[in-house]
Amino acid sequence: MWLTRPFCFLTITLREEGVYHLESVDLQQQIMTIIDELGKASAKAQNLSAPITSASRMQSNRHVVYILKDSSARPAGKGAIIGFIKVGYKKLFVLDDREAHNEVEPLCILDFYIHESVQRHGHGRELFQYMLQKERVEPHQLAIDRPSQKLLKFLNKHYNLETTVPQVNNFVIFEGFFAHQHRPPAPSLRATRHSRAAAVDPTPAAPARKLPPKRAEGDIKPYSSSDREFLKVAVEPPWPLNRAPRRATPPAHPPPRSSSLGNSPERGPLRPFVPEQELLRSLRLCPPHPTARLLLAADPGGSPAQRRRTR
């Protein structure tokens, strides 16, 4: 679906160079409130016990949130938030199609939400496309942190991603993930991207920073860090004990939101930050639009039992 209204995108990280440096305390607070409310709404939509996206959590990592805003939303005419996608690089141990362990650091889809009132209108694809373009990755190069059924269908419909490579962690990768992995390691992510794009391949660079030699099985941690780790709701054994058949299509039910081990590495900023003035110009948020009101209201619409404490 072609979006005709004037939509705009905001790119936000909250660590160091982000909101901390904004002069306007009001704006800083607004952005943090928006992220918190988006995180709560997403958690509720996914039946999570707590938000995995919040301003406070974003201050302690280098994840990037892309927010889709409808600039023309009425009645106030100052715009409304449509949804968001959160991405970040994570060090993972993933199995290839020969069941060999590989240590990689792909871009991961960590959280993705479009407001219920406007789902299935093409907004998710619009936002996803923007993220792909900004991050310079191809869909098959991504790792997805415990995708919902809706997201699996979304990826299948828009990007023909269907056949997964079974993993022993809760990240889902698709056929083709390893296609662009065999490139020499580079000293930094930014340098890697530029040099690959310019000198090696005109197509977007692979998101994985490096691919060290394969390790002996005994050296490999079976799990990789997930943002949903703290949810601690695992009731089933992990995938080594109930693995899907080789070359499986996505499971009928997403994997349990079980805990996992490992830590994300520290790294430099993923993207140049939106200049402060540009951000100030584009971020003219206000509550009057129904969608924004739903997101920004004190109670995002859930019953008290459904409300989550933001982490």
Ligand X SMILES: CC(=O)SCCNC(=O)CCNC(=O)[C@H](O)C(C)(C)COP(=O)(O)OP(=O)(O)OC[C@H]1O[C@@H](n2cnc3c(N)ncnc32)[C@H](O)[C@@H]1OP(=O)(O)O
Q: Which is nearer to ligand X, 114 or 292 (CB)?
A: 114
Task: Identify the residue among 113, 174, 177, 178 touching ligand X (CB under 6 A).
Answer: 113
Q: Which is nearer to ligand X, 46 or 192 (CB)?
A: 46
Task: For residue 279, say whether it is annotated as part of any ligand binding site.
Answer: no
| 151 near ligand X (CB under 6 A) | yes
Lay out the site mask for ligand X across 13-52 (x = CB under 6 A, - = otherwise).
-----------------------------x--xx------
Cβ proximity to ligand X: between 103 and 145 the closer is 145
Q: Could you say which residues in the range 121-140 bind ligand X, by CB under 6 A?
A: 121-125
Strand partners, 145: 171
Establish whether 113 is an annotated binding residue: yes
Do residues 177 and 137 touch, judged by C-beta distance below 8 A?
Answer: no
- Burial of 118 (C-beta count, 10 Å sphere; 0-12/13-18/19+): middle
Greatest CA separation found in the chain?
Answer: 61
Between 125 and 284, CB nearer to ligand X:
125
* Distance between CA atoms of residues 140 and 134, nearest Å: 16
Question: Count of alpha carbons within 13 Å of 28, Cβ hemisphere only?
Answer: 14
Secondary structure (DSSP) of 81-126: EEEEEEEEE--EEEE-TT--EEEE--EEEEEEEE-GGGTTSSHHHH
Residue pair 172/144 in contact (Cβ under 8 Å)? The answer is: yes
Name the residue with tokens 């002069």. Answer: 23
207 binds ligand X (CB under 6 A): no
- Contacting residue, 150, 194, 215, 293, with ligand X by CB under 6 A: 150
Looking at 116-124, 230-238, 259-267, 291-299, which segment touches ligand X (CB under 6 A)? 116-124
- Amino acid type, 122: G
Angstrom distance (rounded) from CA 111 to CA 74: 27
Stretch that binds ligand X, among 10-18, 23-31, 61-69, 120-128 (CB under 6 A): 120-128
249: closest CA among 132, 147, 179? 147
According to CB under 6 A, which one of 7, 84, 112, 239 is a site residue for ligand X? 112
Give the footprint of ligand X on this chain (CB under 6 A). Answer: 42, 45-46, 109, 111-114, 119-125, 144-145, 147-148, 150-151, 153-154, 157
Binding site listing for acetyl-CoA: 112-125, 148-157
